[in-house]
Structure 1
Amino acid sequence: MPASRVKSPHLLVAESGADREGHGLKRTMGLFQLVCFGVGAIVGTGIFVGLSDSVAEAGPAVVVSFVLAAITCVFTAFAFAELGGAIPVSGSSYSFAYAGLGERTAFLVGWCLLLEYGVSVSAVAVGWSQYVNELLDTVLGVQLPHALSAGPGDGGAVNLPAVVVIALASVLLMRGVRESARATAAMAVLKLAVLLAFCAIGFYAFQDGNLTPFSPAGLGGIGAGTTAAFFSYIGFDAITTAGEEAKNPRRDIPVAILVCIGLVTLLYCAVAVAAIGAVGGDQVGNRPAALSYVVDRVTGSAIGGGVVAFGAVVAIASVVLAVMYGQTRILMSMSRDGLIPRVFEKVSPRTATPVAGTLIVGVVFALPAAFAPLDAVVNLCTIGTLATMAAVNVSVITLRRREPGLARTFRVPLYPATPLLGVGFCLYLMYETGGATWLQFAVFLAVGLLVYSAYGRRHSRLARTAVSADDAERVPQEA
């Protein structure tokens, strides 16, 4: 067995049962549900809460920042589309790296996915708490006590709403995928309607002068805004975690990924232009509930802002639901491979969901949601996500060479330029996160390597299978 312990795509598919019913999972998601699932995973905190941070960095040029972030995602989306159709399993980036780059790298990719999926759940839940207070204030004229709606880092004691939304998502996920998919679809349609209504209001009050100066902080501001805007796109790759629960994954997963990226990019740019054009970049920047503020200013009434706040509450809740779904499926794949404890791979025969894994994920990530501020994790989530995306682009290249005959329902266009550009954009945005984030990320990876060495490498089922095969080959020779 080579030191890298590469697992073939065919073995990944065979072990997961991806061409039939996989390990108790049921195929219930069609193309529409996959698109809604992708929109549900993407559109949330990044636009409802994070828009103000991006505008504060780039000003009206935030539109350029959104486009640059989208370009980064498009290059990588092509890679996910190719590998998601060729290797339709629940492990997403982790499984793709296992096939293309080997076990150690795959484990580190899975470790980084704890940032993209797990820790981002905490960040998203904190954003949900902010809009719950905004909604309560608009509708009832009251707010939750600060001590119960903010963590210690924000001057409170515990962020109770953030814990509640994670608990509700956990319960829904444990009930079954069909119920979760229906809820995600309904919430995705609702939040798209709210954002389109916001655009109509914003463009009604649009003033050209609010877009000047277009780029007050120059290229540096656009670069910083791009890094902040990238957080708004995190989650599109969650579609590939539905590989074993999609009805026709080889066809539908590539289509759903590309549709989601295109739809979300157009929506984000429209929302940003509408918001800044209506009240100006200075008014949008550094306001956690910027969209509600814009509607209140334009309409002169709190009713419109209340509708936006309600849309944000629904939107961010759907992100928590979709991202937690992705995290549990990735952990299930890692558990199947023996790299983490077996409790995560157990599927309930009654609900056809990983109940124990979902419960553990909910409890573990409710803790930082309760006690950590949103800003403390955004950059770390971003750099971890970019690292996994770079690994997926490299995996496309290595698998094209190692597995030229692999059935691919979608192929990355302009290969190999596209995946190489994807790696380049990812590295650029990683650089823009700053030295402090790089230091945190290095420590995070070092801990991951220790965990792999102490547990994953010794319990790897691929390694045990290889040893057993070697022993079987030696028996006749010794006899």
Structure 2
Amino acid sequence: MIFGRVKPLDAILATAEKKSLHRSLGAFQLTMLGIGAVIGTGIFVLTAEAAQKAGPGMMISFIIAGVVCAFAALCYAEMASMVPVSGSAYTYSYAVMGELIAWMVGWALILEYAVAAGAVSVGWSGYVIGLIEHTFHVDIPASLVTGPFDGGLINLPAMLIAALVTWLLVIGTKESATVNAILVAIKITALTVFIILAVPVMNSAQFSPFAPTGVIGVSMAAASIFFAYVGFDAVSTAAEETKNPQRNMPIGLIGSLAICTIFYLLVAAGVIGAPGLSTQPVTDAMGHALEPGSRELAAQCASRAAEGFKDVVCSKEALAFTLREIGWPQIGNLLGLAAGLALPSVILMMMFGQTRIFFVMSRDGLLPAAFSKIHPKFNTPHVITIITGIAVALFAAFFPVGQLANISNSGTLFAFAAVSIAVMVIRKTDPTRKRPFKTPFVFITAPIAILGCLYLFISLDHKSIILFLIWAAVGLLVYFGYSRSRSHVGRGIVDVSEHQAYEELDPPVPGTH
């Protein structure tokens, strides 16, 4: 039976116990790690995307996405404290629901990480180009800094940053704990400064009409905004390096989520309430909101800008744009600089996560052994890193940020739903196992998480849903055509050095050194 191919939980835990990473992270470091992983392109860039879909109603969208993540986080917390090993959703699924589900989760995580890295690259490009144009008073041709869907030809800056991060990963440059802490501080400082300057001058009239596109628009914005929360599950990948994971993992997961939600709501309020700006959707002649990242929206934005309209939804750097327009141009430029400095670390984390998933799946026999080949000099999985880097660069070069975020969300929502199911399954199949953290009211909490993920999934645009279904179908073909017959678990092979795969590839985490 396919569903019978599980990696025994005891074996996974025994391997981790036998050769575990140094446990040095406390609740505070985990919370900081979570905030560092979560705050990125989502809030810096997708604010404009959400405004085009829901107008000021995006405030509700942030809350909806945050609540769904909170329920999913509670399920993650139980699995992470009970199975404190690397691998996140892929490992949990393999141990609880078997190989086929684990394969599909791993396949979905490829969408989460690789496409998300492309989205962050595009977001970085928007802020850096805005910074250059406003600092040096130059006008860079739009054809070279936006993809074809946005009315340009190719997004060269986004492509170049993806290539640079790939090169850094190949030669083995890792973020140190100090650098990571500094970048987290830069991002939080930038958002704090924005809140301090923008919130006090809010004009309540800007919030009306509050939901011009109705419930559907708010739901679609929530599905996009969900991208702004992706990353909290990265905390669970640090389980092996956590002191007292039974206590600290849940605090790190839910604490980082709560802090980020408060930041997001305050930032969104500052953008919406900015006097003189509009966060209402740009519409066509029939009064229908135009699709974000479309040529039609780009053309309409250009004509409205020529007429003197100041639409947040038309900006590629919404927060910097808002500050410049409310009388803080230099601070706006500094915020653009902060995004330019901090976002590459998010790209690196996303691409690293992608190579790790590929690497571990390869070590399990589900993907070709070449994917887990280590470079003799740099001691990194160079083959899969380069393949991933090429894919990310192409995504970033030709697709708009919103479309990439939505496609990434489809994979993430599938993985989160799988973990929520796994929590309920293991409660039934292994009720006596020690659970240091128990998801409260699990048979209520987990179904709410699953239904929340499903609700956000069906609220995605049709293109993203169709692409996910195609991706899933391809994944099934690869599994039954290649992976199933070569699986180590299926062939009865116990890879005793498997845990070393995680250790070789895990990046330094704040507090590790």
TM-score (norm 1): 0.88
Cα distance in 2 between the residues matched to 1:257 and 1:181: 19
Q: 1:223 — aligned with what?
A: 219
Cα distance in 2 between the residues matched to 1:118 and 1:180: 22
* Residue identity matched to 1:39: I
Following superposition of structure 1 onto structure 2, how do residues 150-189 of structure 1 map, counting pairs within 5 Å?
150-173=146-169, 179-189=175-185
Cα distance in 1 between the residues matched to 2:447 and 2:178: 37
* Residue identity matched to 1:107: W
Q: Is contact 2:70–2:257 with CA below 8 Å preserved after alignment?
A: yes
Cα distance in 1 between the residues matched to 2:259 and 2:174: 24
Cα distance in 1 between the residues matched to 2:484 and 2:156: 38
Cα distance in 2 between the residues matched to 1:361 and 1:327: 7
Cα distance in 1 between the residues matched to 2:379 and 2:16: 15
Cα distance in 2 between the residues matched to 1:435 and 1:250: 40
Q: 1:103 — aligned with what?
A: 99
From 257, 269, 282, the equivalent of 1:261 is: 257
Q: Is contact 1:184–1:322 with CA below 8 Å preserved after alignment?
A: no
Q: Is contact 1:324–1:361 with CA below 8 Å preserved after alignment?
A: yes
Cα distance in 1 between the residues matched to 2:169 and 2:22: 14
Q: 1:342 — aligned with what?
A: 369
Q: Residue 454 in 1 paired to residue 481 in 2?
A: yes
- SS of equivalent to 1:121: helix
Q: CA deviation at 1:427?
A: 0.9
Q: Residue 120 in 1 paired to residue 147 in 2?
A: no
* Residue identity matched to 2:337: F
Q: CA deviation at 1:382?
A: 1.6
Following superposition of structure 1 onto structure 2, how do residues 79-98 of structure 1 map, counting pairs within 5 Å?
79-98=75-94
Cα distance in 1 between the residues matched to 2:180 and 2:326: 30
Q: CA deviation at 1:355?
A: 4.9
- SS of equivalent to 2:367: coil
Shift of the 134–83 alpha-carbon distance from structure 1 to 2, 3 Å rule, reads same
Q: Residue 240 in 1 paired to residue 203 in 2?
A: no
Cα distance in 2 between the residues matched to 1:224 and 1:445: 22
* Residue identity matched to 1:362: G
Q: 2:330 — aligned with what?
A: 303
From 430, 436, 445, the equivalent of 1:409 is: 436
Q: Deviations over 1:141-184 (max 9, x none)?
A: 23554444333444444433223322343454456686344332
- SS of equivalent to 2:456: helix
From 314, 317, 327, the equivalent of 2:341 is: 314
Shift of the 203–154 alpha-carbon distance from structure 1 to 2, 3 Å rule, reads closer
Q: 1:7 — aligned with what?
A: 7
Larger mean Cα displacement after TM superposition, 201-210 or 349-358 = 349-358
From 319, 331, 334, the equivalent of 1:291 is: 319
Q: CA deviation at 1:12?
A: 2.6
Cα distance in 2 between the residues matched to 1:366 and 1:247: 37
Q: 2:504 — aligned with what?
A: none
Q: 1:19 — aligned with what?
A: 17
Q: Deviations over 1:219-267 (max 9, x none)?
A: 2222122112112112211222334455665544332211111111010
- SS of equivalent to 1:315: helix
Cα distance in 2 between the residues matched to 1:97 and 1:177: 31
Q: Is contact 1:93–1:109 with CA below 8 Å preserved after alignment?
A: yes
- SS of equivalent to 2:442: coil
* Residue identity matched to 2:313: G
Q: 1:395 — aligned with what?
A: 422
* Residue identity matched to 2:61: S
Q: Residue 324 in 1 paired to residue 322 in 2?
A: no
Q: Residue 276 in 1 paired to residue 276 in 2?
A: no
Q: CA deviation at 1:18?
A: 2.7
Larger mean Cα displacement after TM superposition, 341-350 or 183-192 = 341-350
Cα distance in 1 between the residues matched to 2:116 and 2:272: 27
Cα distance in 1 between the residues matched to 2:385 and 2:455: 34
* Residue identity matched to 1:19: E
Q: Is contact 2:2–2:98 with CA below 8 Å preserved after alignment?
A: no
Cα distance in 2 between the residues matched to 1:240 and 1:347: 25
RMSD: 2.7
Q: Is contact 1:251–1:409 with CA below 8 Å preserved after alignment?
A: yes
From 196, 202, 206, the equivalent of 1:200 is: 196
Q: Is contact 1:92–1:330 with CA below 8 Å preserved after alignment?
A: no
Q: Is contact 2:43–2:264 with CA below 8 Å preserved after alignment?
A: yes
Q: Is contact 2:44–2:317 with CA below 8 Å preserved after alignment?
A: yes
Shift of the 358–434 alpha-carbon distance from structure 1 to 2, 3 Å rule, reads closer
Following superposition of structure 1 onto structure 2, how do residues 25-36 of structure 1 map, counting pairs within 5 Å?
31-36=27-32
- SS of equivalent to 2:212: coil
Cα distance in 1 between the residues matched to 2:167 and 2:246: 29
Larger mean Cα displacement after TM superposition, 63-72 or 273-282 = 273-282
Shift of the 248–168 alpha-carbon distance from structure 1 to 2, 3 Å rule, reads farther
Q: Deviations over 1:333-377 (max 9, x none)?
A: 212211112344456798775455434422332222223332432
Q: Is contact 2:145–2:154 with CA below 8 Å preserved after alignment?
A: yes
Q: Is contact 1:138–1:305 with CA below 8 Å preserved after alignment?
A: no
Q: 2:298 — aligned with what?
A: none
Structure with more of its chain in helix, by fraction: 1
- SS of equivalent to 2:59: helix
Shift of the 251–20 alpha-carbon distance from structure 1 to 2, 3 Å rule, reads farther
Q: 2:51 — aligned with what?
A: 55
- SS of equivalent to 2:175: helix
Following superposition of structure 1 onto structure 2, how do residues 128-143 of structure 1 map, counting pairs within 5 Å?
128-143=124-139
Q: 1:474 — aligned with what?
A: none
Q: Deviations over 1:261-310 (max 9, x none)?
A: 111101000100111112353343343221112111111x4212101211
Q: Deviations over 1:128-149 (max 9, x none)?
A: 1111101111222235544443
Cα distance in 2 between the residues matched to 1:359 and 1:270: 39
Q: Is contact 1:347–1:355 with CA below 8 Å preserved after alignment?
A: yes
Cα distance in 1 between the residues matched to 2:242 and 2:174: 11
Cα distance in 1 between the residues matched to 2:462 and 2:394: 27
